[in-house]
Amino acid sequence: MVVDLGMNIKNFSKKVHVPQYVRFISNGGDAAMNQHDGWNHNKFARGANHVRSHWEYSADCVELIKEYYENFPQVFDAVKKCGHSKSGPAVNKLKDVFGDESPSSIQKLKQVLTWIESLPISNLPYVDMGFDALDPRMIQSLEQHRQTVKETYSNVNLKIKQ
């Protein structure tokens, strides 16, 4: 059995991501022109406005990753050991992550899965890469502002002069 211990905030092969936590910046005219690649930061040099394709992570996402690392450092250690090397396994075994395949290791695995499922990102939908969505807090703020305007300015009369 294979168990995914990732936070599932993005999936490059399916070209989807969870807005508010991560977004993909592609090469091209969409990206901010003031970003520079890692090779040359001189704006007059060749390639200075080249933007490499990359993922951007929100502060909320970074905080969740920190929390994951603090709660389950053995998962990160296993990824570091096995990594993505061509000779290493694509999937870590239970004993690679928790040291053995005992009932206590299975219980630790269940704890990790329960924690991941409890995260707010676990209930959020994916969107296609290239689409952004407003942060739910921003939507709530806009809704509150709309209500304030509606209550405060309910008797607005517009007069058009000709």
- Strands (E) located in the chain: 10-11, 16-17, 22-25, 54-57, 127-128
Q: Enter the tokens of residue 27.
A: 């090469």
Q: What percent of the chain has pLDDT over 70?
A: 74
Q: What is the pLDDT of residue 44?
A: 55
Q: What is the pLDDT of residue 132?
A: 64
Question: What rounded mean pLDDT belongs to the chain?
Answer: 77
Q: What is the pLDDT of residue 114?
A: 93
Residue 70 confidence (pLDDT) above 70: yes
Helix (H, G, I), strand (E, B) or coil at 25: strand
Domain boundaries, given as residue ranges, for the chain:
10-149
Condensed to tens digits (0 to 9), the pLDDT of residues 87-122 reads 555 677 778 788 788 888 889 989 999 999 999 888
| Angle in degrees, 0-180, between the axes of helices 59-71 and 73-82, rounded to the nearest 10 | 90
